[in-house]
Amino acid sequence: MEYEHQGFATGVDGTRLFWGVSGKGPSMVLNDGIGCDGWAWNYLHAHFAETHRVLHWHYRGHGRSGSPRDPRRIDVPALAADMACVMDAVNMADAILVGHSMGTQVCLESLRADANRARALILISGSYGRVTRTFHGGDALEAWLPAVIETVKRFKGLARAIWGRLPPRMAYRIAKLRGEIDALALSEADFVAYMEHLASMDPDLFLAMLERAGEHTAEDLLESVQVPTLIIAGEHDSFTPQSLSDFMAEKIPNADYLVIKGATHAAPIEQPVIVAARIDKFLRERMEENL
Instruction: Assess whether pLDDT exceeds 60 at residue 291.
Output: no
- Top pLDDT among 158 and 63 is at 63
Q: Is residue 232 part of a domain?
A: yes
Supply the CATH number for residue 79's domain: 3.40.50.1820
Pick the range with the lowest mean pLDDT from 21-35, 155-169, 228-242, 245-259.
Answer: 155-169
Q: What is the mean pLDDT of residues 2-7?
A: 96
pLDDT digits (tens, 9 = 90+) for 25-46: 999 999 999 999 999 999 999 9
Please give the single-letter amino acid code of residue 157.
G
How much is the pLDDT for 162? 61
The residues near 110 (Cβ < 8 Å, ≥ 6 apart) are 80, 83, 84, 97, 117, 118
Report residue 183's pLDDT band, with 50, 70 and 90 as the boundaries. Answer: low
Q: Is residue 24 part of a domain?
A: yes
Query: Domain range for residue 272?
Result: 5-138+216-287
Q: Is residue 95 part of a domain?
A: yes
- Top pLDDT among 156 and 290 is at 156
Instruction: Assess whether pLDDT exceeds 50 at residue 108.
Output: yes
- Top pLDDT among 167 and 125 is at 125
Angle, vertex CA 168, rays to CA 34 and CA 187, nearest 5: 85
Whole-prediction pTM: 0.93
How much is the pLDDT for 28? 98
Number of Cβ within 10 Å of residue 221's Cβ equals: 17
Report residue 274's pLDDT band, with 50, 70 and 90 as the boundaries. Answer: very high
Instruction: Assess whether pLDDT exceeds 60 at residue 158.
Output: no
Q: Is residue 49 part of a domain?
A: yes
Percent of the chain topping pLDDT 90 = 74
Rg (CA), the chain: 18
How much is the pLDDT for 191? 84
Q: Is residue 192 part of a domain?
A: no
Q: Is residue 109 part of a domain?
A: yes
Task: Return the H-helix or E-strand segment holding 189.
Answer: helix 188-200
How much is the pLDDT for 151? 75
Q: Is residue 147 part of a domain?
A: no
Q: What is the largest CA-CA distance in the chain?
A: 56
Pick the range with the lowest mean pLDDT from 112-126, 173-187, 263-277.
Answer: 173-187
Q: What is the mean pLDDT of residues 202-213?
A: 93
Residue 58 Ramachandran class (φ > 0 left, ψ -120 to 50 alpha, else beta): beta
Instruction: Assess whether pLDDT exceeds 50 at residue 142.
Output: yes
Q: How far is CA 146 from CA 100, 143, 159, 240, in A?
A: 25, 7, 15, 20
Instruction: Assess whether pLDDT exceeds 80 at residue 159.
Output: no
Q: Report how many domains make up the chain.
A: 1
Q: Is residue 164 part of a domain?
A: no
Q: What is the mean pLDDT of residues 52-67?
A: 98
Separation between Cα atoms, residue 99 and residue 109, nearest integer Å: 11
Binning the chain into helix, strand and coil, the percentages to the nearest 5 are 50, 15, 35
How much is the pLDDT for 160? 65
How much is the pLDDT for 251? 98
